Amino acid sequence: MLKKVKDQIIKSSLFRSLRIRIFFILLIMGMIPSFITRTALLQNYEERAVNVKISEVSNQFKIIANHLLNYNYLQDASSEVINAELNQISNLYDGRVLIIDNNFKVIKDTYGISEGKTIISEEVLKCFKGENTTYYDNEDGFIEMTIPIVDSSNVKEDETPKIEGVLLSSISTDTIALTISILQRKAFVLEVLITISILVMSLATSHVLIKPFKKVTTAINEVKEGFTDEAISVPDYDETEHIVDAFNNVLRRMRTLDKSRQEFVSNVSHELKTPLTSMKVLADSLVMQEDVPVELYQEFMIDIAAEIDRENKIINDLLTLVKLDKTDGELNVEYVDINALLELLMKRLRPIARQQNIEVILESNRPVQAVVDEVKMTLALSNLVENAIKYNKQNGWVRVSLDADHQYFTVTIEDSGMGIPEEAMERIYERFYRVDKSHSREIGGTGLGLAITRNIILMHRGTIQVSSVETEGTTFVVKIPLTYSK
Ligand code: ADP
């Protein structure tokens, strides 16, 4: 129930503002001490005032009790002096005084109502036993007290003095109540003043505390509107710094993405334009010349057809890459015999290797069955073996070996080719990156093969590693889980 109310308060738009929350917390925290102090002080004052009154009055009555004994008042209540004294004291304290003798008979009542009556109340009985009683009734505003009238004359040392009578009085505490109500009024005015100052201070404090967060919003908006490209900084609090750091990281990531997207677009346009430019040059030179021999026509047309093939290959590779990006995680997996997959793949690539007189060897260490997307896995591994053939030397060799443990299968593709320079190792998976552009172009590379391969391997939750020694050869190691898990 309480939690529901709390949720409701938090959900209401007013309390979702941090500034309003800080304001209310400070206000409440400021008001509670002033409220507690006021209540405690007033209560303390009341207690003290009542105690002072009781001790003052009981002293007075003790003196009177002695006078009563001196004047033998308990035996004969006609003494004018004592009566005047009793009336004076009851007027002074705005109260009533009753003198009760040891027969519990009221021999004097300053109100003159109960004279001659018998009073056997608990307080009177207690007082006759020697116990003074006081009772404060703050609702009706009076203190009732009993004082024993003790005759200590003619009492031997080991004897307890005899209680001859009881002085029962009830005095008004109106003056205390009046002082309390004046104090209360003053305290209220003070409290209002304190509340107003706390209110103003809370407003100012919440405004100041919230300022850095406003700065964060302004800074982010400035970046959003494009006024600045700089990384933003609001070091006022650790918290604002953390928010701003996170924002700067996102910004940096987005800029990197944007930069690579721009680079990709410009690379695509450039790559697609290159074959077109060649075709245009070839076609133009045929058009410009008169009486071109048929052989030249044929030769140029073969070149134009090769450029068309190249354009086609780039577009196909690009489409494959885009498709891989789009269907991120969507693999058509099934149980595949990896040995058979590699054998088929090698069979297809052997003719290309034969042209360069390159020996292609397949070593299967064990039969391997794995859950993979057969088409995509064939494409990924083909690219690697094709590269090992393409970037090899005459009479070189390519060795493909397959192994597995209980979790992964590993395909290692080694070649005796030209190798990859150290500084290029990190970039070979980038789209359109080629170590030697003209050489790659000559042998029909698009610079997209390794990007495609890496994407497919990552989709299978696998890894690809490369090691290479320039002029000696390159080794790619591909590790793929035997079972596919999303
Ligand atoms: P390409 O279509 O140009 O072969 P890839 O993305 O397949 O594009 O390869 C990128 C570059 O990495 C290649 O241009 C080549 O320079 C280098 N490379 C890839 N495989 C090998 C290899 N086995 N030996 C030497 N260089 C390689």
CATH code of the domain covering residue 408: 3.30.565.10
pLDDT bracket for residue 10 (50, 70, 90) = low
The reply to whether ligand 1 has any atom less than 6 angstroms from the CB of 418 is yes
Do 431 and 297 share a structural domain? no
Do 318 and 339 share a structural domain? no
CATH number of the domain at 114, please. 3.30.450.20
Do 168 and 28 share a structural domain? yes
Say how many Å lie between the CA of residue 462 and the centre of ligand 1: 20
Which atom of ligand 1 lies closest to the CA of 447? 8
Do 405 and 358 share a structural domain? yes
pLDDT digit string (tens) for 219-255?
Answer: 999 888 887 778 888 889 999 999 999 999 999 999 8
Q: Is residue 49 within 8 Å of 172, Cβ to Cβ?
A: no
Do 42 and 137 share a structural domain? yes
Do 334 and 305 share a structural domain? no
The reply to whether ligand 1 has any atom less than 6 angstroms from the CB of 417 is yes
pTM above 0.85, yes or no: no
Residues sharing a CB contact under 8 Å with residue 44, sequence separation 6 or more, in sequence order: none
Do 27 and 174 share a structural domain? yes
Provide mean pLDDT across the span 118-122.
Answer: 90
pLDDT bracket for residue 2 (50, 70, 90) = low
At 243 the pLDDT is 93
pLDDT bracket for residue 159 (50, 70, 90) = confident
Nearest CA to ligand 1 atom 19: 387
Do 474 and 343 share a structural domain? yes
At 289 the pLDDT is 87
Do 358 and 317 share a structural domain? no
Is residue 6 included in any domain, yes or no?
no
Is residue 191 included in any domain, yes or no?
no
Q: Which residues share a beta bridge with 163?
A: 150
Taking all residues of the chain, what is their mean pLDDT, rounded to a whole number? 90
Do 304 and 377 share a structural domain? no
Say how many Å lie between the CA of residue 267 and the centre of ligand 1: 17
The reply to whether ligand 1 has any atom less than 6 angstroms from the CB of 420 is yes
* Last residue in a domain, options 281, 298, 323: 323
Do 92 and 46 share a structural domain? yes
pLDDT digit string (tens) for 391-437?
Answer: 999 999 999 999 999 999 999 999 999 999 999 999 999 988 888 88
At 227 the pLDDT is 78
Instruction: Give the residue carrying structure tokens 């080794």.
Output: 475
pLDDT digit string (tens) for 314-336?
Answer: 999 999 988 887 666 688 999 99
* Closest to 398 (Cα-Cα) out of 368, 362, 447: 362
* Last residue in a domain, options 323, 356, 386: 323
Count structural domains, the chain. Answer: 3
Say how many Å lie between the CA of residue 401 and the centre of ligand 1: 20
Domain residues for 25? 20-152+160-179
At 1 the pLDDT is 64
The reply to whether ligand 1 has any atom less than 6 angstroms from the CB of 415 is yes
Provide mean pLDDT across the span 179-192.
Answer: 92
Percent of the chain at pLDDT > 90 equals: 65
The reply to whether ligand 1 has any atom less than 6 angstroms from the CB of 440 is yes
> Cα–Cα distances in Å, from 394 out to 26, 386, 390, 405?
83, 15, 10, 35
Query: Rounded to whole angstroms, how far apart are CA atoms 392 and 396?
Result: 6
**Among 271, 309, 387, which is best to mutate for testing ligand 1, by the most ligand atoms less than 8 A from CB?**
387
Q: Which residues share a beta bridge with 466?
A: 476
Query: Rounded to whole angstroms, how far apart are CA atoms 139 and 153?
Result: 41
Which atom of ligand 1 lies closest to the CA of 444? 2
> Cα–Cα distances in Å, from 89 out to 80, 145, 210?
14, 14, 66
Say how many Å lie between the CA of residue 186 and the centre of ligand 1: 91
Do 335 and 318 share a structural domain? no
pLDDT digit string (tens) for 31-58?
Answer: 899 899 989 999 999 999 999 999 999 9
Say how many Å lie between the CA of residue 384 and the centre of ligand 1: 8
Nearest CA to ligand 1 atom 20: 387
